[in-house]
Chain A
Amino acid sequence: MGNTILKMQSITKEFPGVKALDQVDIEVEEGEIHAICGENGAGKSTLMNVLSGIHPYGSYEGEIIYKGKVCHFHTIKDSERMGIVIIHQELALVPYLSIAENMFLGNEQARSGVVNWDLTYQKTSEFMKMVGLHENPRTLVKDIGMGKQQLAEIAKALAKNVKLLILDEPTSSLNESDAKNLLDLLLRFKKERGITSILISHKLNELAYCADKITVIRDGHAIETLVKGKDEVTEARIIKGMVGREMTNRFPPRAHNIGDVALEVRHWTVYHPLFADRKVVDDVSITLHRGEVVGVAGLIGAGRTELAMSIFGKAYGAHISGELYKDGKRLELHNISQAIGDGLAYVTEDRKGNGLIVTDSIKHNLTLARPEFISKRGILDKDLEVHKAKEIRELLDVKTPSVEQLVGNLSGGNQQKVLVGKWIFAKPDVLLLDEPTRGIDVGAKYEIYQIINDLVAQGKAVLMISSELPELLGMCDRIYVMNEGRMIAELDGKEASQESIMGCIMQDSKGEIGA
């Protein structure tokens, strides 16, 4: 290594009322994987938007020197021409176009406006091979999973002849094995093609795994740059830089008071709503006790979300069979409002898509699941609603001056708190939490864990689905492991390890192939 490919000097970017970046300096060497981390709102994404021309030249102060030249990018096209490609957290693929069409979108293989499809498909196959994406280039993007979509995005970047690849939280919606796959891909690109990457991530273990350098950003300042092999690069060290203090315990302690069985699911089988012969959940039996946090581990597509949603008043699936007992009593749930009435709550993994109404106020979101608590005979008491909403805001410490605020204006962590608050308001006995800390920063995660602890301390039962194994290990009393719709193992929270969980899944998948 040695050549500096990119130098950003004293970058300052202001939005009305906020200084998002303040005199940030950053230097990236050719052929390295340079990680940028920081809490939500620290300014990571803004910095990358400045670099890629999304915030055009002139809207910020400071200089960008790329390959020894001072660059003034006015649009994203300008930066792409120089080989800088950014892949956003929210993928920019068109769901109803094929992989090939997406790959050359805006960059079509065409002569005088007429697309050469043979060439397009051939080139797409080549790029897909490079990233290890084994699909037909004609497949629609909506039909491939999140992990594959991410690969398609990277292949698209390759098609643009990328020299400097910027990835904004690329693994936030991937499971462990897909995420590792992706990071290995970056490492391979670095070695084989000399592609430089800038990686923005919350997942500290990933940074430690693949980054050569880590720049920590806090409140719009570049705090420090850690170099692998020179500085101590551990999770504890990075967290200290991000939050400005030592966080010795990432998971708040909890007294273990496990009570009676709260929810029991027996022989639960669910079929896919569209493909009637596809079993999504296959003969699963689980128990949850009051005061207990039970984890569900598994790869994406293992049927975890489908299990939770089908329990929650048949919110998902077809031909659901099996028995459901709550506090020893048999439950027959036909719809979601029954499930809510019987004390179940499902906190979705997709907070913007399935959880919150981002265009509505905090108070309306908080009370949506249980309007009967703020109404009499169908007539709303709006004053009571404001009052109750304020209580939840205090309880969960949602950082906003007013409960009238639109949810869309809140940060990710605060939105997540509103989502959890909505279900706390519903006064459930059993909470099914699906990826409760997805895409939020370390500090907010800690607060969510604290909320979970408070809930079980009140005698509620929590089922926690998560793709982040350390989180499951840190939080759960017991962990179920699912694979391909089946429950394959039940582990004690204290004895389980990342290796043992992944081991179960590997073993099970192998058996499948052998059979």
Chain B
Amino acid sequence: MNKAKGLLKGNLKQSSLLIALVAIIIFFQIVTKGVLLKPMNVSNIVFQNAYVVILAVGMLLCILTGGNIDLSVGSVVALVSAFAGEMIIEWKWNVYVSIFLCLLLGILVGMWQGFWIAYVRIPPFIVTLSGMLVFRGATLLVLNGLTLAPFPDNYLRFSTGFIAKASKIELLGVNVNIVCLIAGVAIALIFCITQIISNLNRKRKGYETESPLMLGFKLVIISTALIYFFTLLAQYQGIPTVLVILGILLLVYSFFTTKTVIGRHLYALGGNEKAARLSGVKTKNLMFFAYVNMSFLAAVAGLVFAARLNSASPVTGDGFELDAIGACFIGGASAYGGVGTVGGTLIGALIMGMLNNGMSILGLSSNLQRVVKGLVLLGAVALDVISKMNLDLLHRHKKVTAVTEKG
């Protein structure tokens, strides 16, 4: 009985986030008189938020290492898209080579910042504040203050294209993209089957399993949501290419954070750096990795965003770091580090994205939108902090004892 309670409690935080997201969707669906979930708008939401999700996943890893943030991501996005613009538009280089070089540039930027943070031990806030200025300035130098446009089609399709756009058929009187529909059903099926297999495996090995009722309930809800989402996409142009990129990134990082030893070390580092070090965790290398990874993902986001704007502009990415950080914290990451999930971050990003989109449909001024988003961020984190007052006290306590070491 107690165990069930504990499990419920553990899941409650994730699910309360999910409930908040669903509530926001329903609210805007009603007040926008159904515009929010129109097939075209759903596609738009995917395009609008792809870069936030990509950045937020990278930011999550940084935050996990101990509440550290990366302020430079907006500037890195700009720098990478500027280079993409120069290489592809100005110098007419091969698109694939250019993409590869841009990703490499992201990694180099990450190594630069990671070096100062991890090995010289300069606080990340300062290093990335410097990076924010340096890379913004570099962007302006590269572009000479000008905007480059447009990109060729073979570049754009990576980000703004659709998969098998032409495979349209008439189904129940609606024009739908059949590839998209099949993909949706297939993904839902694969999800259910892997869940059931892993549950059976655990049973066979004699480990604890979820009750079949709970499992069934979970599977039905998630499959329905997945299929509904793909049905909406199918009624428009099909699966956006960027959704595939996003899906792969989310799967990889979710696996990385929950199932790998290095992922586990990341949480340990944020939970208690000294304890992690004394347990053999290579804390410096891990910190370095987190920042290299962040800039790599910023480069991915830069490529995606340049394609969406179909231009490379010096003001690209202004304020992106704040969207990414906000998504992580709304998604339940701890400002002290060591707590947070990829799933939560995705939901956090979607909550921000839905608010953005819904308020835009309603025609609210962007000034007002900022006020609302700011309050939502504060509200989400405040709720989190209040709900685990006890834990928070422990944390602070830990920080105090850490400095009053015996002499």
Contact = CB atoms under 8 A, between A and B. Distances in A.
A359 B404 contact: no
Contacts of B407: 143-146, 148-149, 301
B401 to A, nearest CB: 5
B259 interface: yes
Interface stretch (A87-95, A205-213, A275-283, A486-494): A87-95
Q: State the majority secondary structure of interface residues on B.
A: helix
Interface in A156-204: 173
A13 interface: no
B274 A353 contact: yes
A408 interface: yes
A379 B258 CA distance: 9
B260 A353 contact: no
A340 interface: yes
B3 A358 contact: no
Contact of A379 (B260, B275, B398): B260
A142 B403 contact: yes
Given A144-B407, A350-B401, A380-B261, A360 B279 contact: no
Interface residues of B, number: 47
Contacts of A369: 279-280
A300 B406 contact: yes
B343 to A, nearest CB: 16
A354 interface: yes
A505 B234 CA distance: 82
A502 interface: no
A359 B338 contact: yes
A348 B278 contact: yes
Interface string A348-365: 101011111111100010
A497 B394 CA distance: 40
A236 to B, nearest CB: 31
A416 to B, nearest CB: 14
A46 B84 CA distance: 64
B10 interface: yes
Interface of B: 2-3, 6, 10, 202, 205, 207-208, 258-265, 267-268, 271-272, 274-282, 334, 336, 338-339, 390-391, 394-395, 397-398, 400-407
Q: Which 8 A-B pairs have the closest CB atoms?
A: A145-B407, A357-B271, A337-B280, A146-B406, A383-B207, A369-B279, A371-B261, A408-B394
B405 A353 contact: yes
Interface in A382-409: 382-383, 386-387, 401-402, 404-406, 408-409
A116 interface: no
A7 B397 CA distance: 32
Contact of A358 (B334, B394, B405): B394
Given A352-B398, A358-B398, A315 B268 contact: no
Most buried by B among A96, A352, A364, A422: A352
Contact of A173 (B338, B397, B406): B406
Contacts of A149: 404, 407
A144 B3 CA distance: 46
A315 B334 CA distance: 28
